[in-house]
Amino acid sequence: MKWGFRWYGEKGDSIPLNNVRQIPGMNGIVGTLLNKLPGDVWEVNEIQELKDSIEKENLELLGIESVAIHDAIKAGTAERDQYIDNYIQTIKNLSACDVHMICYSFKPIFGWAKTTLNYENEDGSYSLVYDQSVVDNMEPSDMYKLIHSQSKGFKLPGWEEERLKKFNSLMATYEGVTEEKLFENLEYFLTRIIPVCEEMDVKMAIHPDDPPWEIFDLPRITKNLEDLKKILSIVDSPYNGITFCTGSLGADPNNDLVEMVREIGHRINFVHFRNVGFMGERKFKETAHLSTEGSLDMYAIMEALVDVGFEGPIRPDHGRTVWGEVAMPGYGLYDRAMGITYLQGLHEAAVKSKKAN
Ligand SMILES: [Mn+2]
């Protein structure tokens, strides 16, 4: 596995790359260009600049998270072809810079949602929490206000203010887009881009829904094993793969993560590793990464990944905010560093126990 860390760039992240470099066993960064809006072409010189800044610290650019999909593609409007052309150009430009993995999601409007970004745990650390009962009592547009009021001034991925300004027209864009329609639009997109990905050696990795159920009546098509299998069958290619996000899929207790890895592990192109703690019906918090701190069996998941021979990039996903750190909610240095050290330990144990048996 390639051990990675999500990093938002010199201007967008509070954490100096050198600090990431000091985490034991770290191989690289999953990076992004924060100035890019969905639909923009990522130019070679911009990608190269990002790559150079990472390589200067002896780290590798393991992939991009995310190259966002324009709403015209997701909603299937008349302008989609031009944006797919742009996307294809970005794939080619990434390949020209020797970058080979793109994490993306295909979710209308809300990429991820939480209701509390700074929930205080008993030990004084802070977690992100999702509570469906809060969402049930609010308007979709209020979700933006709720998230922004808690972002501590950080620009949060997927909650760009530029999109908020166009919120009503965005909602209108998705009018009539059912789950079936959204799936067809993904099919249209993948059918066009995957042949290019194959040629360019760039692996796509779709991120599951967070939370993995419908919110505000917007369709969701990456919620469970059935959904993911359906997506993988659109184009039967290793380049059409998934981001296995344990915290997203694991928020639904009906999702058996070990079974998922065993069934579709050969198509996992990227792993997000984090734990969640169930607090009630459709209510959960993002805990520390350890199995004992949350509801998921992290060792069993790691063991399954080792068993299926996963060799791609893996990173600790959202952590708590601890030790008084001032950081983007979910993306502090300390708890994610503890998280990756723990998951490297799980990995070593799983590999050695497999050899012993
Ligand atoms: Mn994730």
Domain ranges (residues) in the chain: 2-356
Q: By C-alpha distance, which of 241, 296, 293 is closest to 101?
A: 241
Confidence class for position 34, pLDDT limits 50, 70, 90 = confident
To the query of whether residue 317 is one of the catalytic residues in this protein, the response is yes
Q: Of these residues, 227, 252, 317, 335, which one is catalytic? A: 317
To the query of whether residue 347 is one of the catalytic residues in this protein, the response is no
Mean pLDDT score of the chain: 93
- As a whole number, mean pLDDT of residues 250-268 equals 97
pLDDT of the residue at 248: 96
Q: By C-alpha distance, which of 327, 344, 100 is closest to 204?
A: 100
Cis amide prior to 66 (ω within 30 degrees): yes
Q: Of these residues, 245, 334, 335, 342, which one is catalytic? A: 245
Confidence class for position 182, pLDDT limits 50, 70, 90 = very high
Q: Of these residues, 207, 210, 334, 335, which one is catalytic? A: 207
- As a whole number, mean pLDDT of residues 250-262 equals 97
Residue 217 CA neighbour count, 13 Å, CB half: 9
CA 248 – ligand 1 centroid, Å: 6
CATH number assigned to the domain covering 2-356: 3.20.20.150
Cis amide prior to 211 (ω within 30 degrees): yes
- As a whole number, mean pLDDT of residues 337-347 equals 97
The more confidently predicted of residues 219 and 109 is: 219
To the query of whether residue 207 is one of the catalytic residues in this protein, the response is yes
Confidence class for position 238, pLDDT limits 50, 70, 90 = very high
pLDDT of the residue at 18: 95
Contact 188, 76 (CB under 8 A): yes
Q: By C-alpha distance, which of 17, 98, 30, 25 is closest to 56?
A: 17
pLDDT of the residue at 57: 95
pLDDT of the residue at 244: 98
pLDDT of the residue at 155: 75
Contact 219, 117 (CB under 8 A): no
Q: Of these residues, 70, 100, 272, 289, which one is catalytic? A: 272
To the query of whether residue 334 is one of the catalytic residues in this protein, the response is no
CA distance 196 to 204: 11
Q: Dihedrals φ, ψ of 8, to 5°? A: -95, 10
- What does the DSSP assignment read for 36-86? PPTTPPPPHHHHHHHHHHHHTTT-EEEEEE--PPPHHHHHT-TTHHHHHHH
Looking up tokens 């990434």 gives: 94
Confidence class for position 169, pLDDT limits 50, 70, 90 = confident
- As a whole number, mean pLDDT of residues 249-275 equals 97
What digits encode the pLDDT tens for the residues 79-106?
A: 999 999 999 999 999 999 999 999 999 9
pLDDT of the residue at 208: 97
To the query of whether residue 272 is one of the catalytic residues in this protein, the response is yes
CA distance 65 to 325: 24
CA 112 – ligand 1 centroid, Å: 9
pLDDT of the residue at 202: 98
Confidence class for position 215, pLDDT limits 50, 70, 90 = confident
What digits encode the pLDDT tens for the residues 280-319?
A: 999 999 999 999 999 999 999 999 999 999 999 999 998 9
Query: Does 16 score more than 90 pLDDT?
Result: yes
What digits encode the pLDDT tens for the residues 133-167?
A: 998 888 887 888 888 888 777 777 777 777 677 77
